């Protein structure tokens, strides 16, 4: 009889975790810092933003133009942190319970006259994130002067 009760409890737990496992094990999002550097004058006069459609917290957020540091850091560059004035930054949520291939991010540029141009964003995390976890990745987004209306992105660190 005890074996049947134990087996019943085990089966009910299996049903509970298979039905509600995603809900039970979803962690809070990590904020990814994004530094956005528009050109002067901006090639995205209607603004730029980020859209994520494939995670639990669908969002569409405008990117805030960054003024400090005044010039974009280079790819892989380490930004001294804390700096006296760092930002403004856009914080994008990344849900750690998601697999990286599930996380998609697209940048958009409102180029005016009803044109919205999109640029595929990165997968999270950057490849070297697990090699040296002393560095915190920062996503740098710049307007591409060679292709007006499109955005380039790369990783820097702080």
Per-residue model confidence as pLDDT tens digits over 33-73 = 899 999 888 899 989 999 887 665 667 889 999 888 888 88
Count: domains in the chain: 1
pTM higher than 0.85, yes or no? no
pLDDT tens track for 109-119: 998 888 888 88
Q: Which domain holds residue 106?
A: 27-157
At 80 the pLDDT is 76
Q: Give the whole-angstrom CA distance, residue 55 versus residue 90.
A: 18
Domain annotation covers residue 118 = yes
Domain annotation covers residue 132 = yes
Q: Kindly report the number of other CB atoms within 10 A of residue 44's CB atom.
A: 25
List the strands of the sheet with 90-95, edge to edge. 90-95, 29-37, 137-143, 151-157
Domain annotation covers residue 110 = yes
3-state SS, residue 151: strand
Q: What are the helix (H) ranges across the chain?
A: 2-25
At 140 the pLDDT is 92
Domain annotation covers residue 31 = yes
The backbone torsions φ and ψ at residue 128, rounded to the nearest 5 degrees and listed phi first, read -90, 10
């Amino acid at each position: 009889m005890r074996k049947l009760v134990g087996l019943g409890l085990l089966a009910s737990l299996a049903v509970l975790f298979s039905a509600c496992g995603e809900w039970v094990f979803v962690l809070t999002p990590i904020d990814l810092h994004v530094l956005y550097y528009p050109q002067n004058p901006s090639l995205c006069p209607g603004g730029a933003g980020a859209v994520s459609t494939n995670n639990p917290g669908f969002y569409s957020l405008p990117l805030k133009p960054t003024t400090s540091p005044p010039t974009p850091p280079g790819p892989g560059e380490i930004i001294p942190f804390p700096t006296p004035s760092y930002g403004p930054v856009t914080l994008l949520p990344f849900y750690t319970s998601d697999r990286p291939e599930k996380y998609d991010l697209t940048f958009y540029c409102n180029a005016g006259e009803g044109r919205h141009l999109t640029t595929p964003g990165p997968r999270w995390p950057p490849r070297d994130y697990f090699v040296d976890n002393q560095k915190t990745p920062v996503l740098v987004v710049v307007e591409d002067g060679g292709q007006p209306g499109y955005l380039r992105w790369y990783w820097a660190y702080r």
